Amino acid sequence: MKILVVNAGSSSLKYQLFDMTTNEVLAKGLCERIGIDGIITHKRPSNPDYKANVAFPDHKAAIECVLALLTDKEKGVIADVSEISAVGHRFAHGGEKLTKSAILGDQELEYLESIVGLNPLHGPPAISGLKACKEVMPSVNHVGVFDTSYYSGMEDYAYIYPIPYELYEKHKIRRYGFHGTSHRYVAAKAAEYLGNKDAKIITCHLGNGSSITATVNGKAVDTSMGFTPQDGVPMGTRSGAIDPTVVTFLQKAEGLTAAEADNLLNKQSGLAGISGFGSDCRDIRDAAAAGNYRAQLAMKILCHNIKKIVGSYIAEMNGVDAIVFTAGIGENDRDLREEVCKDMSFLGIEVDAQINQTCPRGEFADVTAKGAKVKTLVIPTNEEYMIALDTLNLTK
Ligand code: AMP
């Protein structure tokens, strides 16, 4: 069975075509600058990348171009679109009702449209992408996989904020959690490695956006992102958790509108805001290595905040069996892994410095020090595969 996975953003559309019999990625790529002009990058294993300028007035034009390339005699990997059995779509938000992956019919689409207020950045483009794909591929099932659904089983005391309860009822203000598809994937891999499906696992998805999740028995019990992906640890340009009064203070002191305050905390804060060296962790590491104080401080603040959340989840779960690092920073920044896990030997957490510094990038690695009770693992994430798997399971 061949499954197409689509991740539509406001001006981009990522795709991967999986052969689920062999678990192979047959082709993948990215349409960029949708609604502006248009570029497509199309990749197949053992072939040079294909890049072209194509006019993408909307998402429909982009998906039509993707299907034309997938079935192209030279650049394609399938003979006909009918070989695609189903399409999996990534959605950041499923609200309170879409609590697991689902085939998206009219009712589900209507519900997704009703909650765009909760998800104004990702919701509308994901819906446009879905509608475009349904128009171009009307005869197959379209499945939605929601980042929030992994957290739908959390206890009320873990997701209700201490503000007037009526505001939760009226506006659905609560902790939703994000990156759930990634956390679900790496937590399952870790449980499989431990040979313990009941394991207590803390997964640290550290990339441009970062979140930390506590999983017990395959179910998320807490997570650092909240009502929006702004909560939790500092990120590339997002502040993460701060005293909420800072926002209202800044609005008054700097004369900022709500939109300007939002922009400041989302686009100008985090590692970029502290360091002044932009949001890319590699650039900040280089500046820190060259002795720059603010770059060093940014990395210290990041590690400090990750450690605090990891510690709180260990308390919440009454222990931990594995700590997992994933995504761009988690998989690649060896010093960060060492720093976060430092001085936690009293909890049974200890990293083998040599294995941690030399394990190959992009691969599973067990970097646990000999004798340490808790496993420290590096597990490359694969959200697209998880989406393809859910799509397969719902449609086969
Ligand atoms: P992601 O959002 O998962 O693609 O991760 C992007 C982040 O990973 C960026 O901040 C990159 O700087 C960071 N990253 C990628 N490679 C490395 C590396 N070798 N060392 C540190 N950070 C890295």
Question: Distances from the Cα of 25 to the Cαs of 2, 22, 295, 388, in angstroms?
Answer: 10, 9, 38, 10
Q: In the β-sheet with 200-206, what is the strand arrangement from edge to edge?
A: 219-223, 210-216, 200-206, 322-326, 375-378, 365-366
Do both 234 and 104 map to the same domain? no
327 C-alpha to center of ligand 1: Å?
Answer: 7
280 C-alpha to center of ligand 1: Å?
Answer: 7
Do both 202 and 122 map to the same domain? no
Q: In the β-sheet with 102-103, what is the strand arrangement from edge to edge?
A: 50-53, 39-43, 24-32, 13-19, 2-8, 84-91, 141-146, 102-103
Catalytic residues: 147
Does residue 165 lie in a domain region? no
Q: What is the pLDDT of residue 155?
A: 98
Boundary (domain end) residue, out of 151, 166, 182? 151
Helix, strand and coil content of the chain, in percent to the nearest 5, comes to 40, 20, 40
Q: Which of 281, 283, 334 to mutate to test the pocket of ligand 1 (most atoms within 8 A of CB)?
A: 281
The domain containing residue 10 runs over which residues? 2-151
Do both 304 and 242 map to the same domain? yes
Q: Which of 233, 332, 335, 383 to mutate to test the pocket of ligand 1 (most atoms within 8 A of CB)?
A: 332
Answer yes or no: are the C-beta atoms of 123 and 92 closer than 8 Å.
yes
Does residue 201 lie in a domain region? yes
Do both 142 and 206 map to the same domain? no
Q: For position 139, which CATH number holds?
A: 3.30.420.40
Does residue 394 lie in a domain region? no
| Rounded Cα distance, 138 and 215, in Å | 37
Over its length of 396 residues, how does the chain's per-residue pLDDT go in tens digits?
999 999 999 899 999 999 999 999 999 999 999 999 999 999 999 999 999 999 999 999 999 999 999 999 999 999 999 999 999 999 999 999 999 999 999 999 999 999 999 999 899 999 999 999 999 999 999 999 999 999 999 999 999 999 999 999 999 999 999 999 999 999 999 999 999 999 999 999 999 999 999 999 999 999 999 999 999 999 999 999 999 999 999 999 999 999 999 999 999 999 999 999 999 999 999 999 999 999 999 999 999 999 999 999 999 999 999 999 999 999 999 999 999 999 999 999 999 999 999 999 999 999 999 999 999 999 999 999 999 999 999 998
3-state secondary structure of 84: strand
Q: What is the pLDDT of residue 213?
A: 99
Does residue 59 lie in a domain region? yes
Tell the residue nearest (CA) to atom 19 of ligand 1.
Answer: 332
Tell me whether residue 141 is exposed, middle or buried, using C-beta atoms within 10 angstroms of its C-beta: 0 to 12, 13 to 18, 19 or more: middle
| Ligand 1 atom with the shortest distance to the CA of 279 | 10
Do both 141 and 214 map to the same domain? no
| Ligand 1 atom with the shortest distance to the CA of 271 | 10
Do both 76 and 225 map to the same domain? no
| Ligand 1 atom with the shortest distance to the CA of 381 | 3
Boundary (domain end) residue, out of 119, 134, 151? 151
Does residue 172 lie in a domain region? no
390 C-alpha to center of ligand 1: Å?
Answer: 27
Residue ranges around ligand 1 (CB below 6 Å): 207-208, 236, 280-282, 285, 327-329, 332-333
Do both 357 and 260 map to the same domain? yes
Do both 111 and 243 map to the same domain? no
| Ligand 1 atom with the shortest distance to the CA of 327 | 3
Do both 313 and 215 map to the same domain? yes
328 C-alpha to center of ligand 1: Å?
Answer: 4
Do both 131 and 258 map to the same domain? no
User: Helix 293-317 crosses helix 281-289 at what angle (to 10 degrees)?
Assistant: 120
Does residue 336 lie in a domain region? yes
Do both 146 and 211 map to the same domain? no
Does residue 186 lie in a domain region? no
| Ligand 1 atom with the shortest distance to the CA of 361 | 19
Do both 29 and 129 map to the same domain? yes
Answer yes or no: are the C-beta atoms of 201 and 211 closer than 8 Å.
no
Tell the residue nearest (CA) to atom 17 of ligand 1.
Answer: 332
Q: Is the dihedral of CA 22, 27, 32, 34 positive or negative?
A: negative
Q: How many domains does the chain have?
A: 2
287 C-alpha to center of ligand 1: Å?
Answer: 15
| Rounded Cα distance, 365 and 376, in Å | 9
Q: What is the pLDDT of residue 106?
A: 96
Tell the residue nearest (CA) to atom 18 of ligand 1.
Answer: 332
Question: Distances from the Cα of 188 to the Cαs of 77, 342, 375, in angstroms?
Answer: 30, 25, 14
Does residue 87 lie in a domain region? yes
